[in-house]
Amino acid sequence: MPNATTGELMSGVTIRAVRPDDRERIVTAFKALDPQSIYLRFFCHKKELSDQELQRVTENDGASEVALVATVTDGNREIIVGMGNYARSGAAADIAFAVEEDFQGRGIATRLLQQLAHIARANGVSQFEADVLAENTPMLNVLRNSGLRMRESRSNDVVKATLLLV
């Protein structure tokens, strides 16, 4: 699997590690998301990311916290169209994804998940955990069709998914 820092090209989309200089691109990408996509990702409606959220994602250590972006190029401008990240706690890591609506259904979340799993395994993470709203069928399908063994349980409107990396 390619190294996340060098990027990976797929149909004009590059997957790479988040860098500190991505802060404004991430803000722009967040503002481009549909309110429903924001709700499905954060379980609430919000208009902006906090400084703490931006700092956490742009200043991750690349091992216990990892963030990857999917980008496209428009002329000389790089545009973030998706992001996936994990935050480790012991042998497990919480994962989350967001992909801009015009780019959904193109396999971007799947590729982000595959790359995150590769990095996580190399860093000793044995499982991913994700809380997904039951109505978020596309994300549940990404997890269920990932090729990783998956356990899931449901509490009210939230599906708790556990993906085994070993």
Q: Which domains does the chain have, with CATH numbers?
A: 8-164 (3.40.630.30)
Q: What share of the chain is helix, strand, coil (3-state, %, to 5)?
A: 35, 35, 30
Q: How far apart are CA 141 and CA 7, in angstroms?
A: 25
Beta bridge partners of 94: 87, 129
Residue 162 has pLDDT above 80, yes or no: yes
- Structure confidence by residue, pLDDT tens digits, 121-159: 999 999 999 999 999 999 999 999 999 999 999 999 999
Answer whether 80's CB lies under 8 Å from 97's CB. no
Sheet of 158-164, strand order: 8-10, 13-17, 65-74, 77-89, 92-99, 127-133, 158-164, 149-155
One-letter amino acid for residue 141 of the chain: N
At 8, the pLDDT band (50, 70, 90 cuts) reads very low
Torsion sign across C-alpha atoms 67, 110, 157, 153: negative
What pLDDT, in 10s, does the model give residues 74-88?
A: 888 999 999 999 999
For residues 30-44, give the mean pLDDT: 94
CB 154 within 8 A of CB 134: yes
Dump pLDDT digits (tens) for 80-109: 999 999 999 999 999 999 999 999 999 999
pTM exceeds 0.75, yes or no: yes
